[in-house]
Amino acid sequence: MKNPEHEQSASADIDAASTALHVIAIERDALNHLSHLYRSNTQAQDSLRHAVAQITQTIRAGGKLVVTGMGKSGKIGRKVEATMNSLGIHSVFLHPTEALHGDVGIVRPVDTLLLISYSGRTPELLRLLPYIPCGVALIAITSHTDPSTCPLLTDPHRSEKGILLPAPVHVDEEAAFGVAAPTSSTTVALVVGDALALAVARCLHTEPGRGPAEVFKAHHPGGAIGAALASSVSTPMSTASSSLLITPPTSVSLAPLDDPEYNPSPTTSRGGAWGKKDSELTELMVPIDAVPTAPAGGTVLDVLLTSLQHPAAKLWVKLSATEVIPPSRVRWLAKLGQVNAGVRELPSPVSVHAASWLRVAMSTPLREVREIVRTATKDPSVVPLISVIDAEDSCVGLIDGNELLDR
């Protein structure tokens, strides 16, 4: 005898599987539609190239990508922001509502704003736009295919022309599923965001040994991905990025190291004669040209992200042409917990001015450099920064005295 309850349960299972397969098919078709759009529409292709160039230029200029969106679009935005950062593209997520209660201060004129909104007219985003600094470039991922029809890019308060990255769906979600829940629309928005992130990473990281793959490895030491990457070829930043997050602060005083009291003869070159390079010294130093500059007036977070985005710099960061933060103090900042504090607003300076750099000829034997450091340091908790000088009396590299004495 047939069991009616069993038949009813089996029928429900079939309906559920059918529904799930229908959703998968619709979202697959949405992606095919998106791919065809970007392959065949020259305006969409030009916009994508323009967006990639804009973000690349922003990062190189010391700015960041600010991602914003409401609801499900905001959750897609958070994923895009995380992907960008994992690829060495300095990004933050800005909640539109919180922005109007003070968080809009995170957006600076050198930044680029990425707005994600399927309708292109999300009220919270429209209310936010008048408070975005002039000069901030706008990029919008929306269902619109023409920027002239997108309210986010035709805001009367802004004279700058924004960049539209179309992310339409081929069939209305309510018509396809019987409910207007964001499904295929968020899928296509996420794919456009991922495409943007990888394209920017490929344009931004072009130096040998510092491509997108190496940067991603350096930024992903944890989890299953980190374990898998650890078994492959290691990168210079693998250890450094990990220590930035978990190493306790070194014994370092926050007394101003640019005070001449700590270095009686800061501008006097010491040790060695100009000539053949000493392999020990030059292997320890970080080339001055490899040290990135943090955004002017930046926060502790800006410094930490700048250090992570440039693996070859091994945690060295410049605040200006004459001020640098050595690795020991970058690690200290990582443990400070005040990521939103301005670097120059901290109770004591963390940068070291060029006036107090201990200048050493690159031919100086390592043992002599250690002795120079010990002799020049009056306060045992303050170790001077070593500037390695070439035959033209120019700084070619830096060494953190704290780390040198630990060897």
* 377 vs 97: which has the higher pLDDT: 97
Encode pLDDT of 28-42 as tens digits.
999 999 999 999 999
Paired with 238 in beta bridges are: none
Measured distance between the N- and C-terminal CA atoms of the chain, rounded to whole angstroms: 83
pLDDT at 49: 93
* 15-49: b (≥16 Cβ within 10 Å) or e: eeeeeeeeeeebbeebeeebeebbeeeeebeebbe
**Residue 272 pLDDT exceeds 50:** no
- Please enumerate in sequence order all residues whose Cβ is within 8 A of that of 137, keeping only pairs 6 or more positions apart, or say none: 54, 58, 112, 113, 160, 162, 163
Domains of the chain, each with CATH number or no CATH: 13-204 (3.40.50.10490), 243-406 (3.10.580)
What does the alpha-carbon distance between residue 77 and residue 84 come to, in Å, rounded to a whole number? 10
Paired with 398 in beta bridges are: 286, 387
Encode pLDDT of 166-220 as tens digits.
999 988 877 777 777 788 899 999 999 999 999 999 998 887 777 778 877 776 5
- Please enumerate in sequence order all residues whose Cβ is within 8 A of that of 89, keeping only pairs 6 or more positions apart, or say none: 55, 59, 65, 197, 200, 201, 204, 309
pLDDT at 1: 54
What does the alpha-carbon distance between residue 155 and residue 161 come to, in Å, rounded to a whole number? 10
CB 166 within 8 A of CB 45: no
DSSP structure string for 7-44: HHHHHHHHHHHHHHHHHHHHHHHHHHHHHHHHHH-HHH
* 278 vs 215: which has the higher pLDDT: 215
pLDDT band of 344, cuts 50, 70, 90: confident
Q: Which of 64, 153, 157 is nearest to 112 (CA)?
A: 64
**For range 156-167, the mean pLDDT:** 82
pLDDT at 168: 93
Least confident of 56-60, 82-86, 94-98, 284-288: 284-288
Encode pLDDT of 33-69 as tens digits.
999 999 999 999 999 999 999 999 999 888 999 999 9
Query: In the predicted model, what is the mean pLDDT of the chain?
Result: 78
Burial class (CB in 10 A: 0-12, 13-18, 19+), 178: exposed
CB 132 within 8 A of CB 112: no
What does the alpha-carbon distance between residue 309 and residue 244 come to, in Å, rounded to a whole number? 13
pLDDT at 221: 59
